[in-house]
Amino acid sequence: MNMYIEGAKCIRCNKEWQISEIRYQCPTCQGNLDIAYNYKALRNNYPKTSFRQNKLYSIWRYLPFLPLKKMPERPLQLGWTPLYPVPNEYGIKLFIKDEGRNPSGSLKDRATAIVLEAAQEAGITHLTTASTGNAGSSLACLSASMGIETTVFVPDKAPEAKIAQMCIFGTRVYSVIGSYDDAYDLCIRASNLLGWYNRSTGYNPLTREGKKTCAYEICEQLDWHVPDWVIVSVGDGNILSGLWKGFKDLYGIGYIDRLPKMAGVQSFASNAIALSVRSAQNKASIDIESVQASTIADSISVNTPRDGVFAVKAILESRGMIIEVTDEKILMAIKTVAQRWGIFGEPAGVACVAGLEKLWEDGTLKSGEVVVCIITGNGLKDVGSALKASLNRVRVIASQSDLTQVLRRI
């Protein structure tokens, strides 16, 4: 493990632990754990200028800030995804971070990579995860070449493309009749019974450590300027919490001089974090609400967000927002993102843009502000939703004379 790690702190009860004392959650209260680093030592040994000479354009450029002992061998090209400045009608400085360009097509690869490398350093040979689809296809993809066996639990409604990825990479897939939450509980039971190392998002504190690299990249790609807003979809809360951790790391180390406001976007049909943020605003403690999730955006369809406490804290601490949008607006956003900027995102991936529109309409965003939207997954992972969003534009031509007819009408 990285020598700059000082320990882990429970997000719920604040108790501090040595790394050797913990595996997944707080031994006292079963809260999620946050890995703590010695920011001062990192600042002294890795000045910001050291990145100017760094020619490694992947998540591994941030190795000193990650919970690993050494540089992984033969990894797939991971992270350093494009951050595009894109035109918009709002007068803001809008950037789109395209996470669909990762190896398995989603931001999840950042988390998976760290968990897998840590597992390999520890000599673990079997991993498991619960997944709405992307975490599982990511685990299957990145483990394929490492001699590590994997078992994935998914809800039976996971899209076919994600299942196909898991199958082709050779993972063992269990399709659970029920929700993501059912798959999650079964996965924990299986890993406890069989001793498999559990990657499940939020539950395993290393997932947040992987996802924080996305925040590092955003700041470095903006030449260490901090955006005013970061907008991203929220399911179990772990991407939002990972991003927030990343920004707080950079602030702690002294690379940046302020923090962005975090905006989480949920579907009305899966809005547990939204309810939790609202109830937390009137109370001292954070309670995570449960819902019956049914959104078309399968990657954020979650009844009980497993990294919810950290996500709610991120929104409150950053003086950000939680935004709810309809599934209809999410489908429209697929089209918007594709036709304006040439990026094809899955429903959960583009929900941030539906959120952006709402933030603009309600006057929250100010002209001139720097805003980053994160497209969390590739649209090829859910072709059915894209076809729904685009309506049927395909015209059939049966013959040469058909063509003449058609061309005459153009």
Return the residues of window 184-213 that contact its own copies according to CB under 8 A.
186, 189-190, 193-194
Is residue 153 a contact point for its own copies (CB under 8 A)? yes
Interface region with its own copies, contact rule CB under 8 A, candidates 168-176, 252-260, 265-273, 274-282: 168-176
Instruction: Out of 39, 341, 371, 376, point to the residue binding its own copies (CB under 8 A).
Output: 341
DSSP-derived 3-state class of residue 255: coil
Minimum CB separation of residue 254 from its own copies in Å reads 25
Interface region with its own copies, contact rule CB under 8 A, candidates 2-10, 161-169, 288-296, 361-369: 161-169
d(CA 46, CA 134): 33
Amino acid at 300: I
Minimum CB separation of residue 115 from its own copies in Å reads 15
Is residue 304 a contact point for its own copies (CB under 8 A)? no
DSSP-derived 3-state class of residue 258: coil
Pairing of strands 126-130, 93-98: unpaired
Site for its own copies in 92-131 (CB under 8 A): 98, 101, 103-105
Minimum CB separation of residue 25 from its own copies in Å reads 21
Give the x/- contact pattern for its own copies in 249-288, rule: CB under 8 A: ----------------------------------------
Bridge partners of residue 129, in order along the sequence: 152
Instruction: Out of 8, 94, 176, 288, point to the residue binding its own copies (CB under 8 A).
Output: 176
Minimum CB separation of residue 219 from its own copies in Å reads 18
d(CA 305, CA 158): 17
Is residue 164 a contact point for its own copies (CB under 8 A)? yes
d(CA 383, CA 366): 35
Record the tokens describing residue 211, joined without a space: 């996802």
Nearer to its own copies, 27 or 170 (CB): 170
d(CA 268, CA 25): 29
Instruction: Out of 142, 234, 262, 330, point to the residue binding its own copies (CB under 8 A).
Output: 142
* Cα distances (angstroms) measured from residue 167 to each of 126, 141, 172, 178: 16, 10, 7, 20
DSSP-derived 3-state class of residue 66: coil
- Report DSSP state, residue 378: B
Minimum CB separation of residue 289 from its own copies in Å reads 24
Bridge partners of residue 5, in order along the sequence: 37
Is residue 49 a contact point for its own copies (CB under 8 A)? no
